[in-house]
Amino acid sequence: MYKDASIAEVAQAMQRSAIAFKSFSQLSRAARANLMRSIAKEIEALGEELIQTTMRETHLPEARLKGERARTLFQMNSYADACEKGDWLEARITTAIPDRVPPRPDIRKMLVPMGPVVVFGSSNFPYAYSTAGGDTASALAAGCTVVVKAHPAHPETSELVAGAIQKALHAFGLSEDIFIHLHGASHAVGEALVKNEHAKAVGFTGSYSGGMALFNWANQRKEPIPVFAEMGSVNPVFLFNEKLSTDTDGIAKMYADSITLGVGQFCTNPGIIVGLEGEALQSFVQSLGEKMAGIQVGSMLHVGITEAYQQKSVFVQPIAAPGSIRTFFSCGLLQRYC
């Protein structure tokens, strides 16, 4: 078990991150890129220990995790390459024209690092959207320091990856405060991080409710800050009668596979079906039920997700809409996967 950071510890971490930002933001792009490549190597060096730890914490299969780890390493190296190239800086030079009336001054501008970035690890992508995921990689590439709040669904995994990042920092003789790792299952920790005066941006991947909470906290500040959030949603699927009539079973299989992918925990999981009332739709509903019944039961990522699903999920009967259009929610079909 990992203890939540106290509010005082959050404040100290953000202050340390702000101090480290002053020097890290001045580090050359080549030096930042080399650091990031070193981070990728250190994560890869964790080897089987990382995979086995994450399997135990998340119930995700080995093949899926190895693929996601490769993606994470690719992200870190890709951002390192982009960092070194520097075309994203949008540098502009407007030379002076002193003889013009009025005279035009010499103007030079470019994008600069914002400051400490708070990153919230996701539950369903323990590598690619978590401790050393895309948000962390892009922040480091831009010259921003990072404070990560580990996701409580995989704290040991997060600790291992954080250790790899710290090892890379140490090898380059850089401050450990460039990357700070905290635990916090309590919402109070997240709120304290976002509302801290030193935080300049937030990166988040997760639920709509969680993302909107961060967004609201960020906008309640005296100095509002951007929240870069990828949030889950209830995605609609529209069934066209002509297509449905010719491939009822095929569409039912695709839909069943989609809503149960990752035990129904992907953010792209569709939740609403809209179709024309009729024989084709009735056949689809029956076929979908049969396909769902044949899918193997799996374990969810985290007990908290299971409990939340059981509390919030109810079976919703089809809704008869005007014009013989029928809409129904498919989330109830996942009840057996809790």
DSSP 243-256: HHHH-HHHHHHHHH
Confidence grade of residue 236 (pLDDT, cut at 50, 70, 90):
confident
Query: Is 101 domain-assigned?
Result: no
Mean pLDDT over residues 180-194, rounded? 96
CA angle 316, 321, 325 (to 5 degrees): 100
* Residue 166 and residue 263 share a domain: no
Residue 264 scores a pLDDT above 80: no
Alpha-carbon separation of residue 273 from 130, 150, 245, 320 (angstroms): 31, 35, 16, 12
Query: Is 165 domain-assigned?
Result: yes
Confidence grade of residue 265 (pLDDT, cut at 50, 70, 90):
low
In the three-class reduction of DSSP (H, G, I as helix; E, B as strand; rest coil), residue 52 is classed as: helix
Instruction: Give the pLDDT score at 338.
Output: 25
Residue in 83, 144, 267, 331 annotated catalytic: 267
Residue 220 scores a pLDDT above 70: yes
| Selection from 157, 153, 126 nearest residue 300 by Cα | 153
| Selection from 205, 11, 13, 17 nearest residue 114 by Cα | 17
Tokens for 218? 């960020």
* Residue 286 and residue 190 share a domain: no
Residue in 9, 84, 230, 277 annotated catalytic: 230
Confidence grade of residue 48 (pLDDT, cut at 50, 70, 90):
very high
Instruction: Give the pLDDT score at 182.
Output: 98
Instruction: Give the pLDDT score at 312.
Output: 63
Instruction: Give the pLDDT score at 35.
Output: 98
Mean pLDDT over residues 270-289, rounded? 88
From the number of C-beta atoms within 10 Å of its C-beta (0-12, 13-18, 19+), residue 213 rates as middle
Mean pLDDT over residues 54-81, rounded? 96
Mean pLDDT over residues 49-57, rounded? 96
* Residue 85 and residue 20 share a domain: yes
* Residue 314 and residue 173 share a domain: no
**Lowest mean per-residue pLDDT among 72-81, 157-166, 327-336:** 327-336
Mean pLDDT over residues 82-107, rounded? 93
| Selection from 190, 189, 182, 181 nearest residue 213 by Cα | 190
Show the beta-strand stretches assigned E in 114-244.
117-120, 146-150, 179-183, 201-206, 227-231, 235-239
How far is residue 43's CA from residue 84's CA, in Å, rounded to a whole number?
A: 21
* Residue 329 and residue 257 share a domain: yes
DSSP element (H, E) containing 62: helix 62-85
Residue ending a domain, choose from 184, 215, 231:
231
Confidence grade of residue 298 (pLDDT, cut at 50, 70, 90):
confident
Tokens for 249? 């079973």
Structural domain containing residue 326: 235-337
Mean pLDDT across the chain: 89
Query: Is 84 domain-assigned?
Result: yes
Query: Is 33 domain-assigned?
Result: yes
List the CATH number of the domain containing 282.
3.40.309.10
User: Any idea which residue has 């990752």 for tokens?
Assistant: 262
Tokens for 223? 């100095």
* Residue 21 and residue 165 share a domain: yes
How far is residue 285's CA from residue 333's CA, in Å, rounded to a whole number?
A: 11
* Residue 129 and residue 180 share a domain: yes
**Lowest mean per-residue pLDDT among 174-178, 213-217, 246-250, 289-293:** 289-293
Residue 130 scores a pLDDT above 90: yes
* Residue 183 and residue 134 share a domain: yes
267 is catalytic: yes
* Residue 246 and residue 204 share a domain: no
Confidence grade of residue 334 (pLDDT, cut at 50, 70, 90):
very low
List the CATH number of the domain containing 168.
3.40.605.10
Instruction: Give the pLDDT score at 317.
Output: 47
Mean pLDDT over residues 269-293, rounded? 87
Confidence grade of residue 324 (pLDDT, cut at 50, 70, 90):
low
Contact 270, 251 (CB under 8 A): no
Q: Under 8 Å CB-to-CB from 200, ≥6 apart: which residues?
A: 114, 115, 116, 117, 144, 225
Residue ending a domain, choose from 201, 231, 261:
231
Mean pLDDT over residues 189-209, rounded? 95
Contact 72, 80 (CB under 8 A): no
Dihedrals φ, ψ of 319, to 5°?
-105, 120
- Concatenated DSSP letters for 188-219? HHHHHHHHSTT--EEEEEE-HHHHHHHHHHHH
Query: Is 185 domain-assigned?
Result: yes
Query: Is 275 domain-assigned?
Result: yes
* Residue 159 and residue 69 share a domain: yes
Which has more confidence, 306 or 240?
240
Q: Which residues pair with 179 in a beta bridge?
A: 146
83 is catalytic: no
Confidence grade of residue 29 (pLDDT, cut at 50, 70, 90):
very high
Instruction: Give the pLDDT score at 267.
Output: 67
Residue ending a domain, choose from 196, 216, 231:
231
Instruction: Give the pLDDT score at 326.
Output: 52
Confidence grade of residue 131 (pLDDT, cut at 50, 70, 90):
very high
Domain count, the chain: 2
* Residue 270 and residue 170 share a domain: no
Mean pLDDT over residues 281-292, rounded? 89
**Lowest mean per-residue pLDDT among 60-64, 182-186, 188-192, 320-324:** 320-324
Query: Is 30 domain-assigned?
Result: yes
* Residue 243 and residue 194 share a domain: no
Residue 36 scores a pLDDT above 50: yes
Query: Is 136 domain-assigned?
Result: yes
